[in-house]
Amino acid sequence: MLSPLNTISKGKIENKTIQVNKITSEFKILKHIAIIMDGNRRYAKKLKLSSGKGHEKGAEKLFDVVDWCLEFKIKELTLYTFSMQNFNRQKSEVKTLFFLFKKYFTKLKDDKKIHNNRIRIRIIGRTHLFPPDLQKSIREITEKTKDYDNLIINFAMAYGGREEIVDAAKQIAEEVKFSDLNIEEINEKLFSEKLYLNSDPDIVIRTGGDTRTSNFLPWQTIYSEWFFTKSLWPEFSKEEFTGILNEFRERQRRFGK
């Protein structure tokens, strides 16, 4: 089966045709996928649904992606779920999103698939900005799954890449101020350890047709392979996902060498 896929290659968008019916053992080198889940509102508008219904369809798509990650033995999945800038959306939409977050975290907390597959749930970002009831749901699911290690899912919520770097810098400054850290000890490794996420994605996928990074993991993605698809997030298919994995297998990752 062949799938058309829009990818970034040599600084421009190209139409590529990718074989998607062959998965090889080479995917052992692929450990961490990050996704910018874009297009829920446009999907809702396209089908004449409320924006809330679009976000709900997007949440349901996530369950499919988790199944695919388990199938292909991906060890870590990071999802751009709610940015710092999303707080500036209409209050009614933000309220709906908070409701959906609480609903699905409550559902996942007791989901057999989560526990049978030993899936750890982490939330990265300035979660103290969320309402108390949502913060409680976050604490409950992270505590209940903290010892799992088969697949780690990081939900980037109240997240911004620049904000993450600022928070890390503040933490280091505090440690230097109180003599817990010598300034000569500051290096890239230490700085990475102070970030919300101390893990670099192999692949970043953005759905929805836009080709921006949108303040997502600027420190961690300097050598990630980026893929941009035209499909809106609720429409994202296993065929596209598998095509991206195969395209990744064909790319040469030189890390500046």
Which positions are annotated as active-site residues? 38, 86
Q: Which two tokens stand for residue 138?
A: 């976050």
Residue type, 129: L
6: enclosing H helix or E strand: strand 2-9
Please check whether residue 118 is in contact with residue 148, taking contact to mean a CB–CB distance below 8 angstroms. Answer: yes
Q: How far apart are CA 130 and CA 166, in angstroms?
A: 19
CA dist list (Å): 65 to 117, 176, 240: 14, 42, 11
Q: Compute φ and ψ for 210, nearest 5 degrees.
A: -80, 150
What does DSSP assign to residue 234? Answer: G
Residue type, 31: K
Q: How far apart are CA 177 and CA 163, in angstroms?
A: 21
What is the DSSP pairing of strand 76-83 with strand 2-9?
unpaired
Q: How far apart are CA 74 and CA 166, in angstroms?
A: 30
Please check whether residue 74 is in contact with residue 151, taking contact to mean a CB–CB distance below 8 angstroms. Answer: yes
| Nearest alpha carbon to residue 1 among 238, 250, 256, 253 | 238
* 206 contact partners, CB below 8 Å, separation of at least 6: 35, 36, 38, 212, 213, 214, 226, 227, 228, 229
